[in-house]
């Protein structure tokens, strides 16, 4: 019996162990993959990178726990980039879950980069009829939010809010919207981007990207981060490979292992049949 015939009769437990190692090692030891950066991801990165130091980046936190594997890594990468550039970050969630998710990410990255809540960043919090509240922020943020943040602290007492009264192009350098559905980027386009002239980049799940791509082509989005692959690209641009690279590594090496087993199995079958 030659090696290819033995491959056809290999103990399935051996295959399971090989797959476990192939999937686990990239997750436990993430490393940057040789990914070609797509034009849309680079546009989104440059959109933030070109903002003047001290300007305001408005972040839309509009996703839930089910999409954290895709949206979490890019959220952290953008926050890291913004804090590195000393931008003032304002978080506004139209999804209730997005409030706590982005708060946790901002606390983690803020602590790492020695940024202070209320001075360098703030979470305005989720409220009922959040889409209507978004529209009201373009006139007066304190009025729209009843003057308090997500934890009930007074916004008027925070240094970050002293020169920020409304969501418009004179006070906000740009919007980075993290979305997985509705409400999301469409509401920003209708209520802020078009009427108020505030530019916006978007990060979305891979399944949503084809529907969002036309807005990049039209110039309404200044960039688009597409799912886990786009998040890994963004991590590499920021210079801090993390969970997106780990996920892409496990996915890529897992696919290679499957292809290898299929090729070996077919070679063994063909050789056996030829005899």
Q: What's the rounded Cα separation, in Å, for the pair 135 and 206?
A: 28
Residue 9 has pLDDT above 80, yes or no: no
Mean pLDDT of the chain: 89
Summarize pLDDT for 152-198 with one digit per residue, the tens. Answer: 999 999 999 999 999 999 999 999 999 998 999 999 999 999 999 99
**Domain residue spans of the chain:** 3-28+251-274, 39-240
Residue 250 has pLDDT above 70, yes or no: no
Q: What residues pair up with 61 in beta bridges, in sequence order? A: 178
Q: What CATH architecture applies to the domain 39-240?
A: 3-Layer(aba) Sandwich (3.40)
Q: How far apart are CA 28 and CA 108, in angstroms?
A: 20
User: Given this model, what pLDDT does residue 25 score?
Assistant: 74
What residues have CB less than 8 Å from 28, skipping those under 6 apart?
none
Q: Kindly write down the DSSP assignment for every residue of 44-97, as one continuous string.
A: HHHHHHTSPTT-EEEEEEE--GGGHHHHHHHHHHHHHHHHHTT-EEEEE-SSHH
Report the pLDDT averaged over residues 63-91.
96
Task: State the pLDDT at residue 23.
Answer: 72
Crossing angle, helix 68-84 and helix 39-49, to 10 degrees?
40
Does position 231 have pLDDT exceeding 70, yes or no? yes
Give the per-residue pLDDT at 149: 96
Beta strands 56-62 and 88-92 are parallel
């Amino acid at each position: 019996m030659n090696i290819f015939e033995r491959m056809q009769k290999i103990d399935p437990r051996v295959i399971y162990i090989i797959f476990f190692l192939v999937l686990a090692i990239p997750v436990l030891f993430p490393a940057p993959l040789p990914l070609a950066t797509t034009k849309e991801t680079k546009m989104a990165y440059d959109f933030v990178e070109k903002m003047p130091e001290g300007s305001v980046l408005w972040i839309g936190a509009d996703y839930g726990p089910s999409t954290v594997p895709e949206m979490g890594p890019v959220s952290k990468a953008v926050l890291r980039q913004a804090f590195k550039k000393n931008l003032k970050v304002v978080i506004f969630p139209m999804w209730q879950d997005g409030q706590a998710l982005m708060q946790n990410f901002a606390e983690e990255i803020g602590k790492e980069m020695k940024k202070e809540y209320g001075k360098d960043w703030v979470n305005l919090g989720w409220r009922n009829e959040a889409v209507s509240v978004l529209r009201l922020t373009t006139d007066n943020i304190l009025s729209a939010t009843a003057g308090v943040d997500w934890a009930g602290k007074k916004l008027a007492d925070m240094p970050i809010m002293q020169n920020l009264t409304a969501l418009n192009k004179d006070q906000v350098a740009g919007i980075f919207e993290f979305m997985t559905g509705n409400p999301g980027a469409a509401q920003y386009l209708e209520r802020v981007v078009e009427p108020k002239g505030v530019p916006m980049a978007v990060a979305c799940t891979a399944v949503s990207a084809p529907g969002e791509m036309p807005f990049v082509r039209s110039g309404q989005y200044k960039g688009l981060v597409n799912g886990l692959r786009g998040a890994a690209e963004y991590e590499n641009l920021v210079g801090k490979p993390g969970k997106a690279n780990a996920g892409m590594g496990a996915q890529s090496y897992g696919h290679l292992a499957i292809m290898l087993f299929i090729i070996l199995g077919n070679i063994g079958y063909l050789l056996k049949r030829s005899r």
